[in-house]
Structure 1
Amino acid sequence: MSAVDGPFTRRGALAVGGVALASLLAAGFLGVFGDAISDPPTALADAWSPSAVGHRAYLALLREVGVPVIVSRHRTADKAQDGAVVAVLEPRIEDGEHGARTETLVAIDRAARRLLVVLPKRAAAPDPLQRRWIAHASLEPLSEAQRVVDALELDSEVVRPDHSIAAWRGPLPAPALDAPQLLRSKRLAPLVESDDGMLAGELAGEGWRTIVVADPDVLETHGLGRGDNALLAIRLAERLGAGERPLIVDETLHGNEEQPSLVRELLRFPLVLATLQALLVAGLLAWAALVRFGRPRPPPPALAPGKAFLVENTAELLRHGGHLRHAAAAYLRAAKDDIVARLRPPGEPGAPDAWLARIAAARGRTRDLRMIEERVRKIEDARHGAEAETVRAAQAIHRFRQEMTHGAADDPGRDRAAQG
C-alpha cells in the first residue's frame, strides 16, 4: 500500500502521534503530581472535605480570625517540637498498641506541647456522583473513639447518653448538640460538661496542655453553624495558644501521608509562578541558542556586487603592499588631470601643470595646491600613522578638486588666466 492509499497522510500521522504523546505525558503528570496542584477530592472527615462531616469549614473559620493553619502530611511529631499548636481531628487508628497509626498518634502526643484531640464519631460514604459530598453517614462503634482515648492513656470512658442534654456548664460557650458523645473521666479537668459527662476536657502540666473534644459535631460542617458551636470551636483553639502560634492539622492519621518532594513544592502556589517563569526563560534561551530553524540561509557570494567591493579590496591591497605615498601621488595626479580636462579650453597651448598653476593663482588657490603637494611628498609608508595622513591628504585633494571645478562655466578668473 502506498503512502497515498494509507489511512493517514504523513502530516496527519504526525499530528495524531503528537496528540497521543501529549495526552500520555499529561496523564502521567497528573497521576504523579495531581495532589500537589490542587486539594485532594475527598468527602470524609479531613482537612480538605467540604462535606457535612468535613473540617474544611472549621479551618477556613480559623484562618478568617487570624489563626495560621498548616496541614501536615508528613512527620507531624517533628513539626510539633517547634512549639506550634497541633490538632488531631478524628484520627483513625488500629486496634492494638503496635499499629503504625497508633504509634504515630503516641509520637505526636509526646512531642506536642499544645495538643487538640477530637474523637471520631461517624463513618461516611462518599456520593458516587459528587466526590466531595457524602451519600450517607452512620455512627461508628464507641470502640473507635475509645481506642484513641486508650492510646493517649487518658483513663477515660466514651459514652453516648440516650437523651438530650439541657444544661451545660463550664468556662467555655455551651454547644448545640443532638445525641452528643461524651467522656467520663476523673483525670481530665472539664471545660464543657453536663451531668452525663464532659464534651471537652483538659489535661495540663508544666509547659504543656492537651484538650480532648469528645464530639466532633461542634466543628464539622453540619454542626459548625448551630448555636455557639463556631464560637466554642474557636475558643478551644485559642485556649491552646492558636493565633499567637500556628495550628498544625495532622492528616497522616487519615491515610493522607505524603513524602516531601521538591518538585511538588515547586508546583504549589505561589512557587509555581516562579517555576513557570524559569521554564519560560529556559525556553527562550533554548530558542535563542538554536543553530537554525527551517531551511539554511544561502551563503554570501564570494565576490560582492558593486564598486564598493572593488574599491575596498584595492585599498586593502595598497595598504598591505606599502604603497600609500604612491597611491596618494596617483590620486593627486588624477585630480589635476580632471581639473585640466574640465577647465582648459580646447587647443590652448602650455604644459598642463603650468596651466593649472596659473588657474590656481587666478583663483587664490596656489597656497592650497602647494600644501597638498608637500603633504603627499612627506608621506612615509613605513612611519607609524602614515595611513591616517594618507587619508587626510586624499580628503584635501578631493576638496581642492571640488573647489576648482565648482562653477567653472562662469568663473571670471578663467578668462584672465587664459589671457595671461
Structure 2
Amino acid sequence: MSDVAASAGIAGAPVGGDGAFRPRTVALMIAVGLIGFVGMLIVGAYAPDLRSGRNGGAHALSNAATGYAGLVALAEATGRSPRIVRDKRLLDAPELLVLTPESGFVDMSEALGQRTGKPTLVILPKWLTTPDRETAGWVNYVDLAGRDNAERVLAPADKLKVTIGPSHGRPLVPRVAREYGMRFPAPKPLQTFAGASVEPLVTDADGRIVLGQLGDRPVYVLSDPDLLDNRGMASEAGARAALELLDYLQPNDADAVYFDVTLNGLGHSSSPLKLAFSPPFLAMTLAIAAALLLVGWQAVARFGAPRIRPRAIAFGKAALVDNAAALVRRAGREATLGSRYAQVIRERAVVAFGVPAKLRDAALDQYLDRLRGRGRFTDLAAAATQAQDRRALVDAAQALHQWTKETNR
C-alpha cells in the first residue's frame, strides 16, 4: 500500500556526468526516426500512385514499342487533355475511354459493364514480348500472340474471328466522313477481324475490318494495336491518323480522352492508410500528430527532478487519526460526533478534577457545573450534542476544550 520511489542508484553508475549519448544526439536520432517513419507511411499509402508503369507492357504508361505513352503525349501536346485512369470508379466517365487488355484472359466484364452507352475503344493484343536487358522499359518481339488470344478478349459476349496476314504495304481504307481521314499506313503483318453485326470503319484493301463498331453500341474494336502504339507513332502519317481516330470516336462535347490502366494491373483503390492523409481525415491526423508532439515536448522539456510521491498511508498515531477523520468526513457523519466528544470530556474531567466515584449522570453533571469556568458544563455538552453541521460542531468542541483548560488552572 505504499508508493515509495527508489532513491538508490546503480552501483558504479556515473552521477551527474555525460551519459553514452548527449541530449542533442538523442534528439537528432529521435527526429530522424520520426521523419523516416512518417515518410514510410506516406510512401506506403501512395505507392500505387507513384508507380511509373514503365514495365514494357501494352498500356498508356509504357514507353516500349507496344505501349501507348506516345499517343498520350501526342494527345496532351495537341490539347486533347488525356487522363490516365487508375481508379475503377472513374471508368464510367462519359468521354472516350481506351481499353488496352494485354491478353485474352483479362476480365473485361466489370469495365464494359460501366461503359454502357458510353464511347469505348478496345484495342486487341497482338504481340508476345520479353523485357529488353539493356534498356529498362523496352521490350523485344518474340512472336505474334496468335488469333486465339485476341478472340478471347470480348468472348463470349461478342464472338470475333481474328486473322493475321500480310498487308503488302497497301494503305488502309477509311469508311467514314471525309473530314476524318484516318489514312493509316498498314503495319506488317496486319491483324484484322470479323464478326456478326460489326460496322466497318477502317478496312484493309481487301475489305477486312481493322476498326469496327459492335452493332449500335458505342463500343469500337481496333484489331491491330500497331496503329496507335509507340511503334505506330514513329511516322507523321500514323500520328495524324491516330489523332483523327480519337476525334472521330470522341463525343462532340467531350473535353478529355481517358486511358485505362486498371486492366494492366496499375490501378489502385482507397485504403485506411491513404484516407488518413486525405481530407477530411487529414485534419484529425494532424491534430493527433500535434498532440503527440506536445506530449513529447512536455516529457523532454520539464524542469527540475521528478518529485518523490509520499506514502499513500503515513506512519504514526497522527496518521491513523487523520485517516479515521477522513473516513468520518467522507461518510458525512461529523455532526453526530458531538455527544461522543462531550462524553470523552466528561470522562477526562472525572479523572482530572478528582470527582467522587459515587456520582453518576445528572449528579455528575451538577458537580461539573459547580466548577469554575466561563460556562456551565451541561450547557456546553448540550451545544455539542445538538450541533447540526461541521461549523457548529467545531465551535462546541472548542468551547468544551477551553472549559477544560480554564477549570484545570
Establish whether TM, by shorter chain, passes 0.5.
yes
1:29 Cα deviation after fit: 4.2
Of 47, 64, 87, which aligns to 1:51?
A: 64
- Tell me the secondary structure at the aligned position of residue 120 of structure 2: strand
Residues 117 and 212 in structure 1, CA contact (< 8 A), matched pair in contact too: yes
Name 1:124's counterpart in structure 2: 129
Go from structure 1 to structure 2 and tell me whether the alpha carbon gap of 1:46 and 1:187 turns closer, same or farther (over 3 Å shift): same
Contact between 1:36 and 1:265, CA under 8 Å: does it hold in 2? no
For residue 90 of structure 1, what is the amino acid of its counterpart? P
Output one character per residue of 1:48-94: Cα deviation in whole Å (capped at 9) or x when no partner: 11222211221222222222333223435x742x5332221235342
Q: Is the 8 A contact 2:45 2:271 kept in 1?
A: no
Asked whether the equivalents of residues 126 and 136 of structure 1 are also in contact (C-alpha less than 8 Å), the reply is no
Question: Which protein has the bigger helix share?
Answer: 1
SS in 2 for 1:132: coil
Q: 1:122-153 deviations in whole A, cap 9, x for unaligned?
A: 13323456442325553212211111143451
**Which residue is equivalent to 1:203?**
214
Q: Is the 8 A contact 1:92 1:101 kept in 2?
A: no
Q: Is the alpha carbon distance of 1:89 and 1:127 closer, same or farther for their aligned partners in structure 2, counting shifts above 3 Å?
A: same
Instruction: Measure the CA separation in 2 of the matches of 1:232 and 1:114.
Output: 19
Describe the shift of the 1:88–1:108 C-alpha distance in structure 2 as closer, same or farther (beyond 3 A): farther
SS of alignment partner, residue 228 of structure 1: helix
Partner of 1:103: 109
Specify the SS of the correspondent of 2:241: helix
Q: Is the 8 A contact 2:123 2:221 kept in 1?
A: yes
**Are 1:47 and 1:54, in contact at CA under 8 Å, matched by a contact in 2?**
yes
Quote how far apart the aligned CAs of 1:25 are: 5.5
Corresponding residue SS for 1:256: coil
Q: What amino acid sits opposite 1:228 in the alignment?
A: A
- Whether 1:10 and 2:21 are equivalent positions in the alignment is yes
1:251 to 261, 276, 291: 261
Q: CA deviation at 1:261?
A: 4.5
Q: Does 2:156 correspond to 1:166?
A: no
- Displacement of 1:46: 1.4
Output the TM-score relative to the length of structure 1.
Answer: 0.54
Unaligned ranges ≥5, structure 2: 1-11, 305-409
Alpha-carbon contact 2:48-2:268 (below 8 Å) kept: no
Give 1:182's aligned residue.
192
- 2:244 is aligned to 235
The change in CA–CA distance for 1:156 and 1:36 in structure 2 (over 3 A counts) is: closer
Letter in 2 for 1:123: L
Offset of residue 119 of structure 1 = 0.7
The answer as to 2:48 corresponding to 1:42 is no
For 2:79, the equivalent position in structure 1 comes to 66
> Distance in 2 between the 1:285 and 1:18 partners?
13
Q: Secondary structure at the match of 2:151?
A: helix
Supply the AA of the counterpart residue of 1:161: G
Cα distance in structure 1, aligned partners of 2:102 and 2:209: 19
Q: Which amino acid aligns with 1:238?
A: D
Among the aligned pairs, what percent are the same residue?
Answer: 19
Counterpart residue type for residue 149 of structure 2: E
**1:45: how far off?**
1.0
Alpha carbons 1:84, 1:247 under 8 Å: kept = yes
Aligned 1:295-314 pairs, distance under 5 A: 296=303
In the alignment, which residue of structure 2 is the partner of 1:87?
A: 98
CA 1:241–1:196 in structure 2 vs 1: closer, same or farther (change >3 Å)?
A: closer
Q: In 2, distance between residues paired with 1:107 and 1:265?
A: 27
Specify every segment of 5 or more residues in structure 1 that has no aligned partner in the other structure, as ranges.
95-99, 298-420
Which structure has the higher relative contact order (CA within 8 Å, separation 6+)?
A: 2
Kept after mapping to 2: 8 A contact 1:53/1:222: yes
Q: Does 1:222 align with 2:231?
A: yes
CA distance in 2 between counterparts of 1:56 and 1:3 reads 66
SS at match of 2:153: helix
Gap change, CA 1:14 and 1:292, over 3 Å in 2: closer
Calculate the TM-score normalised by the size of structure 2: 0.55
Give the counterpart letter for 2:210 in structure 1: L
Instruction: Provide the C-alpha distance between the structure 1 equivalents of 2:96 and 2:241, rounded to a whole number of angstroms.
Output: 17
